[in-house]
């Protein structure tokens, strides 16, 4: 039985190069992530690395070293989707491809290398084709996934620039040349080669000079081992297993055995996303609106059957009309709720069919559901209020088709009695309706709330019987209150450092219903402010 061979691909600059593919050359560039309530560099461009920056460096320190540094926030969801797309690209090299972490792929190339001229040629092909896509790749081949992972990150290409004072990274850099000489079929490779190959059956010799961090250990364990003098994987080989297991737990020996091939480590290929799309080829070109509607109805019937079979509902539709002249007219529709009712979806889609340019005629239609969501089974009848909820969602879809779903919002209650924090504004298409009744029905809230504006009292009283606000004189015709609201003592909110507030609903002789409050301890204008207006 042929030996198992694993190819690991690491994209050290994946997050940065994903954005650089769109932006083009932009000089020093970095992707910034949140780590322990501070901003650090997550991925760098080659220009940023050449300026002396490194992943994990605090953003303020990096900007001080490189004032021209351009940054962008990390987008984990988009980066994960991009990595899944790269997994589909890597299927041309092996049918078994799995995503490894946030920036790596794992390929089982057993029996595949001869199709590309050998393992070295296969690895070089992966590096060159990734470079053609604008991506930097580090590739390693070994007998086990753990060994291939370690060689790709700690032997191939040198990995990311190490932080000053990091003993583990410094040890990896110092032993990189020795690892290269021991882990390749070919002549001695330069230290910065992006490809490392461990000959079959020589995993132990390939891993011995690498730092223990290459074993994919939990955070902090590599540092604990280094303090005991166990800096390289080879240092662990002669140590008593029982003592290491008692000191560091079973994960250390498990990772070591997996890397050396003494414990199984399967590769689970990334499951392909379901492709929910249908196509209709027409014997004669069409162009009338009624014909388009009939074709869309046939496509929706077939699409809804596929959605129903998979227990999914469409959140977006994409209708493509292929014209005789080779042009394609595209119509996109976002839905406010997951749907698989062909009749209801046709009514929403028909509102926008007139936007399709038929030209000299349409000879093929294609309907795709690019965004889907699971739909839980519901009892017949939908329960109380189901018709009203569906009708409201369809209304949001109709309005969103004209002005965009993002422009339609609704308030949701929040767990706070602070007026500015009582409600959150969420997109109506991606949020559930607010519960009824509102959690705080005992006190009315104004229709409009603005930042507190100073009020100048003109007469005594509580509330003041006359005051000046926004350059005009006002007199009270009635008042209701007070409602005392205390600040959230566990938060340091600069707007609430004045302490307690007594709120009043006042009616002026001009017919305006205002929301005034007296801030205890405030120094401006006796502590009176206007915070909002009722309808």
Taking only the tens place, the pLDDT of each residue in 119-140 is 999 999 999 999 999 999 999 9
Say whether both 366 and 432 belong to one domain: no
506-535 average pLDDT score? 82
Say whether both 238 and 327 belong to one domain: no
Kindly indicate the confidence band of residue 437, based on its pLDDT and cuts at 50, 70 and 90. low
* Domain assignment of residue 12, yes or no: yes
Average pLDDT, the chain: 82
Say whether both 210 and 305 belong to one domain: no
Structural domains counted in the chain = 4
Contacting residues for 48 by C-beta, under 8 A, at least 6 apart: 16, 28, 29, 30, 41, 62, 66, 69
Q: How far apart are CA 31 and CA 45, in angstroms?
A: 9
291-320 average pLDDT score? 92
Kindly indicate the confidence band of residue 520, based on its pLDDT and cuts at 50, 70 and 90. confident
* Domain assignment of residue 403, yes or no: no
CATH of residue 290's domain is 3.30.1490.100
Q: What are phi and psi of 130, to 5 degrees?
A: -65, -40
* Domain assignment of residue 265, yes or no: no
* Domain assignment of residue 147, yes or no: yes
pLDDT at 246 over 80: yes
Say whether both 435 and 456 belong to one domain: no
Nearest by Cα to 531 from 469, 455, 450, 471: 450
483-489 average pLDDT score? 86
The two three-digit tokens of residue 326, written as one number: 């080779």
Kindly indicate the confidence band of residue 164, based on its pLDDT and cuts at 50, 70 and 90. very low
* Domain assignment of residue 53, yes or no: yes
Q: How far apart are CA 381 and CA 394, in angstroms?
A: 17
* Three-state SS letters, 319-344: EEEEECCCCEEEEEEEEEEEECCHHH
Say whether both 67 and 101 belong to one domain: yes
More confident residue, 97 or 383: 97
* Domain assignment of residue 427, yes or no: yes
Say whether both 159 and 97 belong to one domain: yes
State which H helix or E strand residue 196 sits in: strand 195-197
The two three-digit tokens of residue 68, written as one number: 């021209």
Q: How far apart are CA 252 and CA 230, in angstroms?
A: 12
How far is residue 329 from each of residues 14, 209, 323, 355, 358, measured CA to CA in Å? 33, 59, 8, 9, 8
Whole-model pTM above 0.75? no
pLDDT at 177 over 60: no
Say whether both 458 and 433 belong to one domain: no
Q: What is the pLDDT of residue 239?
A: 84
Asked if residues 141 and 109 have their Cβ atoms less than 8 Å apart, the reply is: yes
pLDDT at 264 over 50: yes
Asked if residues 116 and 176 have their Cβ atoms less than 8 Å apart, the reply is: no
Q: What is the pLDDT of residue 438?
A: 66
Contacting residues for 27 by C-beta, under 8 A, at least 6 apart: 45, 47, 68, 70
Kindly indicate the confidence band of residue 193, based on its pLDDT and cuts at 50, 70 and 90. low
Asked if residues 519 and 527 have their Cβ atoms less than 8 Å apart, the reply is: yes
Kindly indicate the confidence band of residue 440, based on its pLDDT and cuts at 50, 70 and 90. low
State which H helix or E strand residue 8 sits in: strand 6-10
* Domain assignment of residue 374, yes or no: yes
- Which range is least confidently modeled, 158-162, 272-276, 501-505? 158-162
Counting residues of the chain whose pLDDT is more than 70, the rounded percentage is: 85
269-286 average pLDDT score? 84
Say whether both 302 and 359 belong to one domain: yes
Q: How far apart are CA 157 and CA 9, in angstroms?
A: 12
Say whether both 247 and 289 belong to one domain: no
382-402 average pLDDT score? 67
Say whether both 499 and 515 belong to one domain: yes
Q: What is the pLDDT of residue 434?
A: 67
Q: What is the pLDDT of residue 381?
A: 54
Say whether both 334 and 463 belong to one domain: no
* Domain assignment of residue 520, yes or no: yes
Q: What is the DSSP string of 141-180?
A: EESSHHHHHHHHHHTSTT-SPPPTT-HHHHHHHHTHHHHH
- Domain containing 412 equals 408-441
Q: What is the pLDDT of residue 375?
A: 82
Q: What is the pLDDT of residue 376?
A: 73
Which CB contacts under 8 angstroms, 24+ apart, belong to 121-125?
122/7, 122/93, 123/7, 123/195, 123/197, 124/195, 125/93
Q: At what angle do helices 241-248 and 250-260 cross, to 10 degrees?
A: 130
In this predicted model, what pLDDT tens digit does every residue of 342-370 receive, in sequence order? Answer: 988 888 888 888 888 888 899 999 999 98
Kindly indicate the confidence band of residue 181, based on its pLDDT and cuts at 50, 70 and 90. very low
Say whether both 89 and 163 belong to one domain: yes
């Amino acid at each position: 039985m042929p030996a198992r061979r694993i190819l690991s691909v690491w994209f050290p600059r994946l997050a940065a190069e994903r954005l650089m593919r769109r932006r083009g050359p932009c000089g020093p560039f970095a992707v910034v992530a949140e780590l322990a309530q501070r901003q650090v560099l997550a991925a760098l461009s080659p220009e940023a690395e050449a300026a002396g920056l490194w992943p994990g460096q605090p953003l303020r320190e990096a900007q001080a070293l490189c004032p021209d540094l351009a940054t962008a926030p990390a987008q984990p969801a988009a980066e994960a989707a991009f990595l899944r797309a790269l997994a589909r690209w890597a299927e041309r090299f092996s049918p078994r491809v799995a995503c490894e972490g946030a920036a790596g792929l794992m390929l089982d190339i057993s029996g595949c290398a001869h199709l590309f001229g050998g393992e070295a040629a296969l690895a070089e092909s992966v590096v060159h084709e990734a470079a053609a896509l604008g991506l930097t790749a580090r590739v390693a081949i070994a007998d086990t996934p753990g060994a291939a992972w370690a060689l790709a990150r700690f032997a191939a290409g040198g990995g990311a620039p190490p932080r000053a004072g990091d003993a583990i990274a410094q040890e990896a850099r110092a032993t990189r040349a020795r690892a290269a000489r021991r882990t390749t079929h070919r002549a001695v490779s330069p230290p910065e080669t992006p490809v490392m190959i461990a000959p079959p059956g020589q995993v132990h010799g390939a891993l011995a000079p690498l730092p223990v961090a290459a074993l994919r250990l939990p955070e902090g364990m590599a540092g604990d081992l280094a303090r005991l003098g166990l800096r390289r994987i080879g240092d662990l080989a002669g140590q008593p297993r029982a003592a290491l297991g008692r000191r560091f737990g079973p994960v250390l020996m498990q990772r070591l055995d997996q890397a050396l091939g003494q414990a199984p480590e399967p590769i689970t290929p990334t499951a392909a996303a379901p492709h929910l799309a249908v196509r209709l080829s027409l014997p004669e070109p069409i162009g009338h609106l009624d014909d388009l509607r009939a074709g869309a109805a046939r496509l929706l019937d077939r699409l809804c059957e596929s959605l129903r079979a998979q227990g999914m509902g469409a959140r977006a539709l994409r209708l493509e009309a292929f014209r005789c002249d080779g042009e394609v007219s595209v119509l996109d529709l976002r839905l406010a709720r997951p749907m698989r009712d062909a009749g209801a979806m046709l009514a929403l889609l028909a509102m926008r069919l007139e936007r399709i340019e038929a030209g000299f005629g349409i000879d093929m239609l294609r309907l795709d559901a690019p965004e889907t969501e699971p739909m839980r089974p519901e009892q017949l009848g939908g329960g109380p209020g189901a018709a009203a909820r569906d009708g409201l969602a369809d209304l949001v879809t109709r309005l969103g088709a004209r002005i965009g779903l993002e422009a339609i919002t609704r308030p949701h209650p929040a767990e706070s009695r602070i007026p500015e924090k009582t409600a959150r504004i969420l997109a109506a298409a991606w949020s559930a309706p607010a519960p009824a009744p509102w959690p705080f029905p005992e006190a009315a809230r104004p229709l409009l709330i603005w930042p507190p504006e100073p009020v100048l009292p003109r007469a005594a009283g509580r509330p003041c019987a006359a005051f000046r606000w926004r350059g005009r004189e006002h007199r009270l015709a009635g008042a209701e209150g007070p409602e005392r609201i205390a600040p959230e003592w566990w938060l340091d909110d600069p707007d609430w450092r004045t302490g307690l507030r007594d709120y009043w609903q006042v009616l002026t002789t001009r017919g305006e219903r205002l929301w005034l409050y007296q801030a205890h301890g405030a120094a401006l204008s006796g502590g009176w402010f206007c915070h909002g207006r009722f309808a």
